[in-house]
Structure 1
């Protein structure tokens, strides 16, 4: 189990530390926030590979953090001789008996930290000291990776040549399911882990016998004819035989099928689901890490619901890292496991009560992800409030809220306290608008007073004397003649009843009108607060 992750100089991460949850970690963030890079870095440190190929083969200049490279070039230009850019990825592991052979204190923790762990470094190769010295005389933003080497060691300072078998790890990227010859490297690894050693040996032996029989039987007649051809210079006999080398092992020839259809020809959603399910169902008592990129991709809502249930049921003691852009995944698996990423930095959700986590799990359709990713939030009671707030905000500020990074969301009947608690947990500036429903605003404020914070989280309630809901609030600050003209209703119609009955339609007509319409005071106050 990974207890701490340190990344220095790798892609978006200049100097990054994360202490993951023991079981579930849900990674959310905007595009290029660092979610995929984190999973990639974990995979590099655990496997020494990336995309199924060795890290040394895949090493390229764009692995190096741009800001650190720019700083290096700046210091070189000023006449300094800074150290060459390097990459460090460290995984600190749980102190378990089966991992003691990885134990040591050779790590970057300033205070001695003797524990099991793995270190992955990309450093200058001293064998190319002369070439690196020449490059230093006129350095460029493209680091000369040809003169670098990879050091893959455990904290006891011994080199690793393959992933320690005590650490079972699987990485599934469901965004793009890549299959080569019907089965890709990661799936082959997952399937292999489902087989016992004696089963693998038996299959390998039988596969060798099958190839041998093809050589003697199917190719026999061809080889008899080839004996007459003396192509080699020394007149030796030529013959065809099935390849018995490790390059043609049974793992590369056996492909899974789904309902008699080769795996590579199954739907992408089916492929992703199979990979995830196999990874989650591995029979292993050792440390196990499963990393899943966006499980919602290529899946219908029903299939996603089934897959998440399987993940939940099979999680056990495995440590999961799941990146997602789906509010359903976030709510269903648990908001308390949330890790928020932004430009190479990470923050965790704190202070969320188990009751609130359970509340959103039971209502997984609510778009909490919008709340998590927004810079500022405005929470309103319904769609008509949302439509009108955006209109009044545009009138006062000259642009729609989203252009200022402000997301206006309807609570759709959700409990105000639950929504406010989530905003407090992720520390988002929020303005909450609600009707007074005939109650004193002071009384309505009391149940959530402990979650409010002046200048950060504030509640705005319509004045009691102006009416119970939004519609009478509008009527109280605008002339009936103006509203009738904007709404397109006659004098014979009861204005208040029509607006109450046709809430959303009325809001849409007001929003599209070019006439000047005054905002209810509580909406104007909320606009001024959230706009800042």
Structure 2
């Protein structure tokens, strides 16, 4: 439903364009990278609200991109004419019939001009307060005068919006926290209301008013007779009590959902999140078209998270778009790598280039920690735990520090196909070294099989030397020829065959070498990989 999002000047995003996946969008990134900010911006543009309140009531100088603000005040100090920072959030919608009537137009930032449906929210200086703004800026301040700003919310047809367009239904579920003390926040109440027909809501409202009227006439009658005798009003009219019949005391603010007969607010936070998601994605007639979920893994065990992801997949209906932030590789793999949006430094990149076969491959292996690849500056792929342990040891010997101290993450593929892992590295565009055994084959033929998954200077594969053994253990022994020293390090007697013992006890052998104080020489392909991943820098 959403074709494109453009955010200018809002918090982390100086100028970012996002082309979302039509179904699942999985937002990942470091803490404070801007994942939640992206959902917040999308919600602002679609609903005109933030934290359940109109945007105009929540204006904050820290909404504005701080680089924009800093550049503005520097330019003013230098006497340069410069416009005040603004915020603009545009949501471009797919060209569907239901959007044509009220949301269609050419009032958007597309160049050349393009007519399409969409909405735009801008936070701009109010021209009626031009003098007050100048007085504020002439004072010794570096804070924007948001008191003199206004929120302008319009369709692409340049029609002002005052409430969420009825053509766009949204739901926001924050699994990290509960926003109100009783657990029934603005968004949940809105979702509950969306699941009722107008006739049902009217019937419940009338019944609720009748109950309150009966409370007033029957149960408060005796109290009101006594209160009528009290003096106090200016014109000596009698005092009385009555149930509030105003809209603010409507039935929807008085009910509390229950889960297994327990009030919703007293249910576990994981359970609350699951209920909100189910309501938001419910049956087709009332399902929200845009669903935003913050960190669904919070407060859930692995088993419960697996159940929740099953529910999300089962409940997703045609035309429904999900935006999900997560720190969980399990969530990312299960819902599909092709929906990944990597958020960093106010920019968003996608993984749309990953093949359907590789997406399916990782869906079947949801426990694999793909997020380590996504979040790493540079990474090294090794075949198993023993390779990982020895790479760390040899890296410390050569660089005198741990790999992670240089921003290098060493990731064990643990039996995963090297081609699949390299395809992810290719899609991420990150510097990657991969180490593998030669398995008795010509290294050149193994490299040829990888095709363009290798890229000189960016993705390289390093293979154990032919003739030095098929696996890591004989490769280590071939460059460490002091048999007595190696037996001493490994604690192996003369009766045992050293290579056989190491091969049968891969992890134990690697740990003993890693802990040894004696010098151990690294195989040449390890040395080359270390030099490559550090770009030859010490």
Q: TM-score, normalised by structure 2?
A: 0.96
Q: Is structure 2 residue 161 aligned with structure 1 residue 153? A: no
Residues 381 and 413 of structure 1 are in contact (CA less than 8 Å); yes or no, is this contact kept in structure 2?
Answer: yes
1: distance between equivalents of 2:109 and 2:163? 22
Residues 9 and 64 of structure 1 are in contact (CA less than 8 Å); yes or no, is this contact kept in structure 2?
Answer: yes
How far off is 1:443 after superposition? 2.6
2: distance between equivalents of 1:493 and 1:368? 39
Residues 340 and 347 of structure 1 are in contact (CA less than 8 Å); yes or no, is this contact kept in structure 2?
Answer: yes
Equivalent residue number for residue 493 of structure 2: 490
Equivalent residue number for residue 34 of structure 2: 34
2: distance between equivalents of 1:227 and 1:182? 39
Equivalent residue number for residue 401 of structure 2: 399
Aligned residue runs from structure 1 range 63-82, under 5 A: 63-82=63-82
The equivalent position to 2:516 in structure 1, one of 495, 513, 518, is 513
Q: Is structure 2 residue 437 aligned with structure 1 residue 435? A: yes
Equivalent residue number for residue 226 of structure 2: 225
Aligned residue runs from structure 1 range 59-208, under 5 A: 59-100=59-100, 101-138=102-139, 140-208=141-209
RMSD: 1.4
2: distance between equivalents of 1:237 and 1:437? 97
Cα deviation 1:497-523 (Å, max 9, x = unaligned): 221222111111111222211101111
Sort the Cα spacing of 1:273 and 1:371 in 2 relative to 1 into closer, same or farther, 3 A. same
Residues 44 and 55 of structure 1 are in contact (CA less than 8 Å); yes or no, is this contact kept in structure 2?
Answer: yes
How far off is 1:182 after superposition? 4.0
How far off is 1:169 after superposition? 0.3
Equivalent residue number for residue 249 of structure 1: 250
Equivalent residue number for residue 270 of structure 2: 269
Cα deviation 1:468-526 (Å, max 9, x = unaligned): 21111111111222212222333333322221222111111111222211101111111
Once superposed, which parts of structure 1, at least 4 consecutive aligned residues long, lie more than 6 Å away?
none
Aligned residue runs from structure 1 range 221-370, under 5 A: 221-284=222-285, 288-316=289-317, 317-370=319-372
Structure 2 unaligned regions, length at least 5: none
Equivalent residue number for residue 380 of structure 1: 382
How far off is 1:378 after superposition? 0.8
How far off is 1:116 after superposition? 1.4
SS in structure 1 of the partner of residue 285 of structure 2: coil
1: distance between equivalents of 2:28 and 2:43? 19
Residues 382 and 411 of structure 2 are in contact (CA less than 8 Å); yes or no, is this contact kept in structure 1?
Answer: yes
Cα deviation 1:222-275 (Å, max 9, x = unaligned): 001011012101100110000000110111101100011000000011001111
Deviates more, 1:281-290 or 1:12-21: 281-290
Structure 1 unaligned regions, length at least 5: none
2: distance between equivalents of 1:52 and 1:515? 64
How far off is 1:285 after superposition? 7.3
1: distance between equivalents of 2:283 and 2:189? 13
1: distance between equivalents of 2:258 and 2:76? 57
Q: TM-score, normalised by structure 1?
A: 0.97
Cα deviation 1:91-144 (Å, max 9, x = unaligned): 111222221211111122232121111111111112222210111213533211
The equivalent position to 2:464 in structure 1, one of 462, 465, 468, is 462
Sort the Cα spacing of 1:126 and 1:427 in 2 relative to 1 into closer, same or farther, 3 A. same
Residues 171 and 291 of structure 2 are in contact (CA less than 8 Å); yes or no, is this contact kept in structure 1?
Answer: yes
